[in-house]
Chains A and B, each alone.
Chain A
Amino acid sequence: MKFGVVVFPGSNCDHDAWYAVRENLGQDAEFIWHDSDRLGDVDAVILPGGFAYGDYLRCGAIAKFSPVMQAVKRFAADGGLVLGICNGFQILVEAGLLPGALVRNTGLKFVCREVRLRTETTDSPFTAAAAKGQILRVPIAHGEGCYVADDRTLNALEAEDRVVFRYLDNPNGSARDIAGILNRERNVMGMMPHPERAAEALMGSADGLVVFRSMVSALAHA
């Protein structure tokens, strides 16, 4: 399988995602430059963490206009797997590929620490290899990771089984402890925690690898 890792000028977890896919997962990965309007022959796309264009405005607000995002939208519309991590999640929300918004943490500070996530659904190409209710130890590192949406959206996410991960100890004030969600078609996922930072025991946890493994197996069966 070949993963495409999008590189915005301010992406800084692009190498980490690339490394997790290549070294920890043993799959192929390549970088996709932000002003490219083609994704090439990749099987899945990762929007990595970082500060896409500085994010001095709302996080991801400028990234949604980049050429690569038009290509990502087409890719997603065709059913391609898109994983947005941290800043990638913020960009997916800004681009309208996922509902709701990510605002400043309620503590008003950047928070870097390990959190525990409960896997809420395994009916997704991102968590099929996990067990429902499985607890994952995965780090977060963000200042604007508080997920908000109106009640109707939140109810719909829950009714449609689109909440993928919830925090056991909500670090940022996210509505209903939501840490990650799916689009309606279930081929686009955004999550604030960093699974690529928990992809080998040496780094303290390998729990995040299940996300990438699920993607590989979904692609293999596609």
Chain B
Amino acid sequence: MTTVTPELIATHQLTEAEYGKIVKILGREPSYTELGIFSVMWSEHCSYKSSRLHLKKLPTRGRYVVQGPGENAGIVDIGGGYVAAFKIESHNHPSFIEPFQGAATGVGGILRDIFTMGARPIAVMDALRFGPLDDPANGARNRRIVEGVVAGIAHYGNCFGVPTVGGECVFEACYNGNPLINVFALGVAKRDEIFYAKAAGVGNPVIYVGAKTGRDGIHGASMASAEFTEESKQKRPNVQVGDPFLEKLLLEACLEAMQTGAIVGIQDMGAAGLTCSTCEMGSRGGTGIEIELDRVPQRETGMTAYEIMLSESQERMLLVAEKGREQEVSRVFHKWGLDAVTVGQVTGDGLLRVRQHGEIVAEIPNQPLADSAPLYDRPHTKPLRTAPMDVPGFTSRNLTRDLETLLASSDICSKRWIWQQYDYQVRTNTLAGPATADAAILRVKETGAALAMSLDGNARYCYLSPRDGVQLIVAECCRNLAVVGADPIGATNNLNFGNPERPEIMAQLVEAIEGLADACRFFEVPITGGNVSLYNETLGEGIWPTPVVGVVGVMKTAAPAGMHFRQPDRSVMLVGGVGTCDPVRFGGTQYAKAVLNALWGLPPALDLDHEKRVQAAVREMSRAGMVESAHDLSDGGLAVALAECSFGPDGVGAEVDLDSDLASELLLFHEGPSRALISTAEPDRVAEIAARHGVEAPRVGVTIKEGIVIRNRGTELIRARVEALRDIFEKALENKLRG
């Protein structure tokens, strides 16, 4: 029997005060197993102890919200008697230690969160952050991490049979020692067939299904709640190994078992495994749960209670069934070749009671264990930033060359090398997959409607101002949906930050959450769930604040406009106008990064009211079918957007004449929001709609068979061949990965 010593408490990352609270809850000293159980449940990863206080500021209710935060996934009503369950989760720490399995099990974890609610996953997107591929010191490692992460996501998603339909990928030095892997998943269920993670009905059996429990992933949740040190690499055994085939069996078996009507509640065993699923289900149901560890299917012999309770072996679920109907449930699981074992029962005493070899090895009240984790109001000062406010002097020597530099930069270049490894079409719902439209679009065969979704983040903006940066992110997601003609109905978020115990990092988190709350309220997209990943630091070096936002919208099922110009002689119009840009607000752009290698000032200015009007106008144009192509302006500004619009199958380009006082660099590359570039055969109707919404929509040019030409007041700024630009854009990532 291991005795609990101060050293042992410290290695479990529990503070003295936290330990005191445990003793108070139990009325005695915890056993070793109980200490382990508390340490994972009260880890940052599971308890959100640093962020919970601020997360309460987020809007979580709305017309379409069926289930807000607190369940395995958020749920919104998509009409026709159906709902969409969706959420985003990070698997950052494991993916740094073991990129392939870390990323693969990240996909597996979020998929279980979706189908545990009774929803069949129909889409995955991922937001990835890596260190620069050409970093002098870390380039080789970064390239290896990229290869591993992408292969891991592909391995899991492709085999499971869910399309990976979109996402984004950004490279910054701050991710050298701390890549970010955020996976978003969405599933569809009937509105009256949603399942919740509640243990109800005293005497009901608690059934363990899926993979056997092994020693893998023990303390994964605690690992994800600490900074990285040199020793972290030795935590490789803490990373789990994924089995997508088993997950596919689990999916089919769970959905089929749910149809029997015998299932009362169900939760996946993700972070903190058996511990988390038992006490959370009990806590939500206001019940107790009693389990017998000798009955838990085990992959290895001689596992201790501590190991079984803390294992994070993948592809496991815990469910509560109606008493007497165990056979119906196990018949389904056996059909799919899976273990389904009754390991315990629901009790009325509110306790999590764990037995092994005839002895009680843990006995903890569920509710305080799951819900009374310490809540910290961590001190926060001013968000950390070292970037100057002063604008450096710069003059371009060759604007066409600058455009080429941007198209070849890791952030902007084609990510085909990544998404071509993902099956983005399986289930034949993908109306717009990667790099075809501003949002991914999937039809819902059951209802005849379609769902549009967009995932976005911009740590450069957020580093300069967490509050403004995150608002720009929400605006961009909603704009992406507007461009394809969809109405946003709900959002999810992944907050990736450094060490919250540092007041200047905590300040980043607080400001980002407040900015997110304001923007979501303004655009009427409630947050239905999400994830917080803190302690993203390696050797004291934190990542930039990286909130990632995913927004889901509904639209009618139709072939979307897409971002590419389709034919020559169409009017090119800039809805929202050329805009303005104070040079102070140019410091966070891709031009500043890729061409000037600098970072200064503030993110682009956002006028929320104007943004909303632009979105309404573009949405109306898109829905009316009068746009042949539509693409919002974001990274790299107008010039990059124009080039991207030209990279369609036929390489139709454009000749554009602007009329602006802005310096050429700013005019071409500023990233002011609230703008979209469209091509149309009906410029008058477009102008009429724009005018009605009170937004500018100058006709800036015309599509042409070949080439990109941009002039301002008669002076030629850019002239290039589409195929030459496409070549640069398409090959850049692969070239960099070759090292």
Binding site for B on A (CB under 8 A): 9-10, 12-13, 15-16, 19-20, 49-51, 53-56, 109-113, 139, 141, 143, 194, 196-197, 199, 201-203
Q: Is the CB of B154 within 8 A of A16?
A: no
Closest chain B CB from A20 CB (angstroms): 7
Residue of A20, A49, A50 with most chain B CB atoms under a 10 A cut-off:
A50
Contact with A along B396-423 (1 / 0, CB 8 A): 0000000000000000000000011111
- 18 additional A-B residue pairs with CB within 8 Å, beyond A55-B245, A203-B425: A9-B245, A9-B337, A10-B245, A12-B161, A12-B426, A13-B426, A16-B426, A19-B428, A49-B426, A54-B243, A54-B244, A109-B154, A111-B421, A112-B419, A112-B420, A112-B425, A139-B425, A143-B158
Question: Within the assembled complex, what's the spacing in Å between the Cα atoms of A201 and B426?
Answer: 16
Is B424 part of the binding interface, using a Cβ–Cβ cutoff of 8 Å?
yes
Question: Within the assembled complex, what's the spacing in Å between the Cα atoms of A7 and B192?
Answer: 28
Please give, as numbers and ranges, the residues of chain B lying within 8 Å of A203 by CB-CB distance.
425, 428, 430-431
Question: Within the assembled complex, what's the spacing in Å between the Cα atoms of A109 and B418?
Answer: 10
Please give, as numbers and ranges, the residues of chain B lying within 8 Å of A12 by CB-CB distance.
159-161, 248, 426-427
Q: Is the CB of B420 within 8 A of A113?
A: yes
Known contacts being A9-B337, A12-B161, A111-B420, is A197 close to B425, with CB within 8 Å?
yes
Q: Is the CB of A54 within 8 A of B428?
A: no
Question: Within the assembled complex, what's the spacing in Å between the Cα atoms of A56 and B160?
Answer: 13
Residue of A nearest to B424 (CB): A112
Contact with A along B133-174 (1 / 0, CB 8 A): 000000000000000000100100011110000000000000
Is B445 part of the binding interface, using a Cβ–Cβ cutoff of 8 Å?
yes
Residue of B424, B425, B445 with most chain A CB atoms under a 10 A cut-off:
B425
Q: Is the CB of A202 within 8 A of B559?
A: yes
Q: Is the CB of B336 within 8 A of A9?
A: yes
Is B557 part of the binding interface, using a Cβ–Cβ cutoff of 8 Å?
yes
Question: Within the assembled complex, what's the spacing in Å between the Cα atoms of A54 and B337?
Answer: 13
Q: Is the CB of B248 within 8 A of A9?
A: yes
Contact with A along B33-56 (1 / 0, CB 8 A): 000000000000000000000000
Q: Is the CB of B245 within 8 A of A53?
A: yes
Known contacts being A56-B245, A111-B421, is A50 close to B161, with CB within 8 Å?
yes
Please give, as numbers and ranges, the residues of chain B lying within 8 Å of A139 by CB-CB distance.
425
Known contacts being A109-B421, A113-B420, is A141 close to B426, with CB within 8 Å?
yes
Please give, as numbers and ranges, the residues of chain A lying within 8 Å of B426 by CB-CB distance.
12-13, 16, 49, 141
Binding site for A on B (CB under 8 A): 151, 154, 158-161, 243-246, 248-249, 252, 336-337, 419-428, 430-431, 443, 445, 557-559
Please give, as numbers and ranges, the residues of chain A lying within 8 Å of B422 by CB-CB distance.
110, 112
Please give, as numbers and ranges, the residues of chain B lying within 8 Å of A113 by CB-CB distance.
420
Residue of B nearest to A53 (CB): B245
Closest chain B CB from A82 CB (angstroms): 22
Residue of B nearest to A109 (CB): B421
Please give, as numbers and ranges, the residues of chain A lying within 8 Å of B245 by CB-CB distance.
9-10, 51, 53-56
Closest chain B CB from A196 CB (angstroms): 7
Please give, as numbers and ranges, the residues of chain A lying within 8 Å of B336 by CB-CB distance.
9
Question: Within the assembled complex, what's the spacing in Å between the Cα atoms of A13 and B159?
Answer: 11
Residue of B159, B244, B421, B423 with most chain A CB atoms under a 10 A cut-off:
B423
In the complex, 12 of the A-B residue pairs with CB atoms within 8 angstroms, ordered by the A residue number, are A10-B249, A16-B426, A16-B427, A19-B445, A51-B244, A51-B248, A109-B151, A110-B154, A112-B419, A112-B422, A141-B425, A203-B428
Residue of B nearest to A111 (CB): B420
Residue of A nearest to B252 (CB): A9
Closest chain A CB from B136 CB (angstroms): 27
Question: Within the assembled complex, what's the spacing in Å between the Cα atoms of A188 and B248?
Answer: 28
Q: Is the CB of B159 within 8 A of A141?
A: no
Closest chain B CB from A134 CB (angstroms): 19
Closest chain A CB from B219 CB (angstroms): 27
Question: Within the assembled complex, what's the spacing in Å between the Cα atoms of A13 and B162?
Answer: 10
Question: Within the assembled complex, what's the spacing in Å between the Cα atoms of A194 and B430?
Answer: 14
Question: Within the assembled complex, what's the spacing in Å between the Cα atoms of A115 and B240?
Answer: 36
Question: Within the assembled complex, what's the spacing in Å between the Cα atoms of A113 and B246?
Answer: 26
Question: Within the assembled complex, what's the spacing in Å between the Cα atoms of A54 and B250?
Answer: 13
Please give, as numbers and ranges, the residues of chain A lying within 8 Å of B420 by CB-CB distance.
109, 111-113
Q: Is the CB of A196 within 8 A of B159?
A: no
Q: Is the CB of A16 within 8 A of B428?
A: yes
Residue of A nearest to B243 (CB): A54
Closest chain B CB from A199 CB (angstroms): 8
Please give, as numbers and ranges, the residues of chain B lying within 8 Å of A51 by CB-CB distance.
159, 244-245, 248
Q: Is the CB of B158 within 8 A of A197?
A: no
Please give, as numbers and ranges, the residues of chain B lying within 8 Å of A201 by CB-CB distance.
559
Closest chain B CB from A169 CB (angstroms): 13
Question: Within the assembled complex, what's the spacing in Å between the Cα atoms of A67 and B252?
Answer: 20
Q: Is the CB of B154 within 8 A of A15?
A: no
Residue of A nearest to B162 (CB): A12
Q: Is the CB of A110 within 8 A of B425?
A: no
Q: Is the CB of A110 within 8 A of B249?
A: no
Closest chain A CB from B153 CB (angstroms): 10
Question: Within the assembled complex, what's the spacing in Å between the Cα atoms of A49 and B419?
Answer: 19
Residue of B nearest to A12 (CB): B161
Please give, as numbers and ranges, the residues of chain A lying within 8 Å of B431 by CB-CB distance.
202-203
B158 in complex: contacting residue of A19, A110, A196, CB < 8 Å: A110
Closest chain B CB from A8 CB (angstroms): 10
Please give, as numbers and ranges, the residues of chain A lying within 8 Å of B158 by CB-CB distance.
110, 141, 143
A141 in complex: contacting residue of B246, B423, B559, CB < 8 Å: B423
Question: Within the assembled complex, what's the spacing in Å between the Cα atoms of A53 and B559?
Answer: 35
Question: Within the assembled complex, what's the spacing in Å between the Cα atoms of A111 and B336?
Answer: 29
Residue of A nearest to B147 (CB): A109
Question: Within the assembled complex, what's the spacing in Å between the Cα atoms of A56 and B427?
Answer: 22
Closest chain A CB from B398 CB (angstroms): 34
Please give, as numbers and ranges, the residues of chain B lying within 8 Å of A202 by CB-CB distance.
431, 443, 557-559
Known contacts being A54-B159, A110-B158, is A10 close to B427, with CB within 8 Å?
no
